[in-house]
């Protein structure tokens, strides 16, 4: 059988049409704490939405309400057009993966994957076939007879994912599934999760506090704050067009530079920067400029450009794929991204000029 045919067969065995998920004005309070403040969130069929936000913003509560593990005080949960708000967890048909390590320790990988199928009354032959398909999907067919303690954290989470998907859930819920893993495994497994999710087509809610993870896996990322969605957008849009200061600060690194706004642009460091929708548009503003939207010129080269204000290098760091230079401009410290190869050109104390590249930025009124 060709690799393509095998993949198609697997897809036929695992693929799901995907259903729409709608959370409408969901409310959940714990005493004085409002964990969800009329949260409204819609997932299109087959979509992967990542919920991102600082600790305590309500991400996990939203996921647990969708799972039926928490009862909302108000609002509505619909999956595939059906109202599930008061339906118990075991009748919601959802697959869940939590932080490591949630496998049953006394069962092998295969038995863990078969577990949900057994609960649903599938016969032994069907369970075995399905578990084999699922373990193949997550690349662990050779580990089927291992127990949790004989597998790495990353392998255990793959088994947990296989177990969640084995029951062909309508919705897949992932609550910080990678947070207990080390950096390299995290990246591998998050890419793997995305590949598998696209393969099976299950509508997925992925909760994380890690912005890079959210941007890397999701069709859309929802940034939560105080129990509500602050902004939801595809990763690239969220990053390049943050709708608020909170989102610009939370997603990526940003400089706050004083400027003067007029008619949709601001003058910052002596250059003109177009302003994004939602910006303060007149008068004294703080402009939120990403490090990669600034350039650094050694003073000797600055004659070729319209020079910005004089600045001094404070420090320069090599970060692998690129470098970051911290410079002092008057009373402000500014971070500028530079190519890795250029890091060595910027030694502490060297005079430089900082130049905005003219990429649209968000401006907020000066305090």
Closest distance to ligand ATP from the beta carbon of 355 (Å)? 38
Q: Is the Cβ of residue 47 or residue 70 nearer to ligand ATP in the bound state?
A: 70
Q: Which helix (H) or strand (E) holds 75?
A: strand 74-79
Binds ligand ATP by CB under 6 A, chosen from 61, 170, 254, 279? 61
Give how far the C-alpha of residue 132 lies from the chain's centroid of Cα atoms, to the nearest Å. Answer: 30
| Burial class (CB within 10 angstroms; exposed 0-12, middle 13-18, buried 19+) of 39 | buried
Tell me the residue nearest to ligand ATP as measured from the CB.
60
Q: Is the Cβ of residue 210 or residue 292 nearer to ligand ATP in the bound state?
A: 210
Question: What is the Cα–Cα distance from 257 to 46, expressed in whole angstroms?
Answer: 41
Q: Which helix (H) or strand (E) holds 160?
A: helix 153-166
143 binds ligand ATP (CB under 6 A): no
| Burial class (CB within 10 angstroms; exposed 0-12, middle 13-18, buried 19+) of 250 | buried
Binds ligand ATP by CB under 6 A, chosen from 39, 48, 52, 58? 58
Q: Is the Cβ of residue 63 or residue 138 nearer to ligand ATP in the bound state?
A: 63
| Burial class (CB within 10 angstroms; exposed 0-12, middle 13-18, buried 19+) of 364 | middle
Stretch that binds ligand ATP, among 58-66, 76-84, 195-203, 243-251 (CB under 6 A): 58-66
What residues contact 175, with CB distance under 8 A and at least 6 apart?
Answer: 60, 63, 96, 97, 98, 99, 207
Q: Is the Cβ of residue 58 or residue 177 nearer to ligand ATP in the bound state?
A: 58
297: DSSP letter: E
Binds ligand ATP by CB under 6 A, chosen from 37, 45, 56, 350? 56
Stretch that binds ligand ATP, among 57-65, 150-158, 291-299, 311-319 (CB under 6 A): 57-65
Binding flags for ligand ATP, 15-54, as an x/- string (CB under 6 A): ---------------x--x-x-----------------x-
Closest distance to ligand ATP from the beta carbon of 204 (Å)? 17
209 binds ligand ATP (CB under 6 A): yes
Closest distance to ligand ATP from the beta carbon of 27 (Å)? 12
CB 107 within 8 A of CB 115: yes
Closest distance to ligand ATP from the beta carbon of 72 (Å)? 12
Binding flags for ligand ATP, 322-361, as an x/- string (CB under 6 A): ----------------------------------------
209: DSSP letter: S
What residues contact 258, with CB distance under 8 A and at least 6 apart?
Answer: 268, 284, 285, 286, 287, 332, 366
Q: How far is CA 33 from CA 28, 71, 268, in A?
A: 9, 15, 40
Residues that bind ligand ATP (CB under 6 A): 30, 33, 35, 53, 55-61, 209
């Amino acid at each position: 059988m060709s690799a393509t045919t095998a993949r198609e067969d697997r897809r036929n065995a695992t693929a799901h049409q995907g259903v729409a998920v709608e959370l409408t004005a969901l409310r959940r309070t714990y005493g004085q704490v409002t964990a969800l403040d009329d949260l409204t969130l819609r997932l299109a069929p087959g979509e992967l939405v990542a919920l991102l936000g600082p600790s305590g913003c309500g991400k996990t509560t939203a996921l647990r309400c969708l799972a039926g593990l928490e009862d909302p005080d108000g609002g509505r949960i619909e999956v595939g057009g059906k109202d599930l708000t008061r339906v118990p967890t075991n009748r919601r048909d959802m697959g869940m993966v939590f932080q490591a390590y949630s496998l049953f320790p006394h069962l092998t990988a295969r038995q863990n994957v078969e577990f949900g199928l057994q609960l649903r009354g599938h016969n032994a032959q069907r369970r075995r076939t399905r578990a084999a398909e699922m373990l193949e999907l997550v690349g662990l067919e050779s580990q089927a007879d291992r127990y949790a303690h004989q597998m790495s954290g990353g392998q255990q989470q793959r088994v947990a994912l296989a177990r969640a998907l084995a029951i062909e859930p309508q919705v897949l819920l992932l609550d910080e599934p990678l947070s207990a893993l080390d950096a390299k495994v995290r990246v591998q497994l998050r890419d793997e999760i995305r590949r598998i999710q696209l393969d099976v087509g299950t509508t997925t809610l992925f909760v994380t506090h890690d912005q890079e993870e959210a941007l890397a896996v999701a069709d859309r990322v929802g940034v939560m704050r105080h129990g509500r969605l602050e902004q939801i957008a595809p990763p690239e849009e969220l990053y390049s067009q943050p709708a608020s200061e909170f989102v610009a600060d939370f997603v990526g690194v940003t400089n706050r530079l004083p400027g003067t706004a007029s008619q949709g642009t601001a003058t910052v460091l002596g250059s003109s920067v177009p302003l994004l929708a939602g910006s303060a548009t007149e008068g004294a503003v703080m402009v939120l400029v990403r490090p990669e939207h600034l350039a650094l010129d050694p003073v000797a080269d600055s004659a070729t450009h319209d020079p910005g204000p004089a600045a001094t290098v404070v420090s320069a760091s090599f970060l692998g794929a690129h470098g970051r230079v911290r410079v002092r401009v008057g009373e402000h410290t500014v971070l500028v991204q530079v190519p890795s190869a250029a890091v060595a050109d910027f030694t502490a104390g060297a005079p430089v000029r900082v130049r905005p590249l003219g990429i649209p930025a968000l401006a907020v009124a000066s305090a």
